[in-house]
Structures are given as structure tokens and as C-alpha cells.
Chains A and B, each alone.
Chain A
Amino acid sequence: MKLLYFAWIREKTGREQEDIDLPQNVVTVNDLISWQKQRGPEFEDAFAQSDLVRVAINQTHVQHSESLEGAQEVAFFPPVTGG
């Protein structure tokens, strides 16, 4: 699965994107965020305030309760501030 990071989540994790094989028990976005938090201090910091983490699956906004089934690309980013 391709994971992407934007804005301060990119800065905190120190990466723009990566390809990852997720453990079997990671089935929802919530699971994926919990899994991210235990990857190291930089990930723990980036995902600490998970209510500020927005997620898109295959380039579509989703809720944290969403299933990862069919997800090829998952992106993590703060609330958008364009316009």
C-alpha cells in the first residue's frame, strides 16, 4: 500500500511517501492511525492529535471509521487551508 503525507504531517514524519505491507489486523483507517503511532517518536508525534489528521483513500476524503479494503493509496494530512 502506498502511503502519502502532506504539510506538517509530512514534516513531522520526515517522509513524503512510502510503500508498506500492513499487518493483517489493520483493517480500518483508525487501525492504521494506531499502527502509525507505534512506529517511532516522529510518527507518535505526527499522529498524536488524531482528530487533526484527515485521511483520503485512493484520493477521496474518508472518515476514520472507513475500511481500508481496496485501498491502494492512503494519504494523511491536516485540515485543508486553500482558497
Chain B
Amino acid sequence: MIRVQEQDFDVGREIEKLKSGNHEIGAIVTFTGTVRSHDEPDALASMHLEHYPGMTENELKRIEAEAQERWPLQASLIIHRYGTLYPGDNIVLVVTASKHRGAAFESAEFLMDYLKTNAPFWKKEMRESGENWVEERASDQDSEERWKQSGVAE
């Protein structure tokens, strides 16, 4: 399941909903990405997340379907927020559920790595010194790339 929303999410409630009624699940992994402040004197005041409505949902569904194909998952969830966010706020939630932990751990990391390099979101940071668009990190490309060779856990 995927959701793109402006409002916050409750991690505990999302886990409960995902596992409710499914007793095949033996492992649940969650990743929460949050807005990180930066060191003074140029601290982050807020962040604006822009996205491409329509394509964002398509990309998240495509990425989730790929994870479902590569790992034996019982359930999965991606929530990504947009709009204005402040230090400490939640940005993204990935939850994966499987019979055993290997698939849940690996697929959660895979989902985040693919989301980082494919989902059409852009972050703009508002700092004391002014505004700037966040630039892509080469390490994010590398993180995605490694999944193109590596195997799959059962």
C-alpha cells in the first residue's frame, strides 16, 4: 500500500493496521525518515517538499511491486509526506512484513534506496542564510545500484 499525504502519520498505528488479522507475519521492519536540523549558525528553519502528483503515486506503486516480486512479503506500506515540514517532523515511513526477518530487513532497505532515487520529490531548505534546493547525493545512487547485482534473502 502507498500513501502520499500532507498530514503526519502514527508509526505504531500503521504497524497495528498492517499486521491486523494476518497471523502469517513473523517479522516487521519499519524505517522512518525525519527532518534533520543542521548545525548552527546556519540552522534549518523548515523544509518544503514538492512532488509530482500522479507520477509520485505511480513510482511508489512500481517500487513496491518490485519489492513484492523480489521478497516473500506478507504486507508492505510506504507513506511519504509533502508540504512544509520542520526539524523533527516525519517525512517518510516504510514498513515491510514477512514470515522471517531477512526479507523484511532487506526489502525495507531496498524500498528506501529506490524511493530516494526514483520517487519525484524535491526538498527545498529554508535556512537563516536563505533558501536552497537540496542536491542529489552520489551515495544515494550507489545505494540503489547495489541492488542491481545482489541476491535475495528468503
Contacts and interface: CB of A to CB of B under 8 A. Distances in A.
Interface of A: 4, 6-8, 56, 59-61, 75, 77-83
A80 B54 contact: no
Given A82-B92, A83-B92, A83-B112, A8 B133 contact: yes
B55 A81 contact: no
Contacts, number: 69
Nearest to B113: A83
Contacts of A6: 50, 52, 120, 122
Contacts of A78: 122, 133, 136
8 contacts: A7-B124, A60-B55, A60-B58, A77-B52, A80-B120, A81-B136, A82-B51, A82-B80
B108 interface: no
Interface residues of B, number: 28
B118 interface: yes
A7 B122 contact: yes
Interface of B: 33, 49-52, 54-55, 58-59, 80, 91-92, 112, 115-124, 133-136, 140
B26 to A, nearest CB: 27
Contact of B49 (A60, A77, A82): A82
B136 A79 contact: yes
Task: Point out which of A6, A80, A82, A83 has the most chain B C-beta atoms below 10 A from its C-beta.
Answer: A82
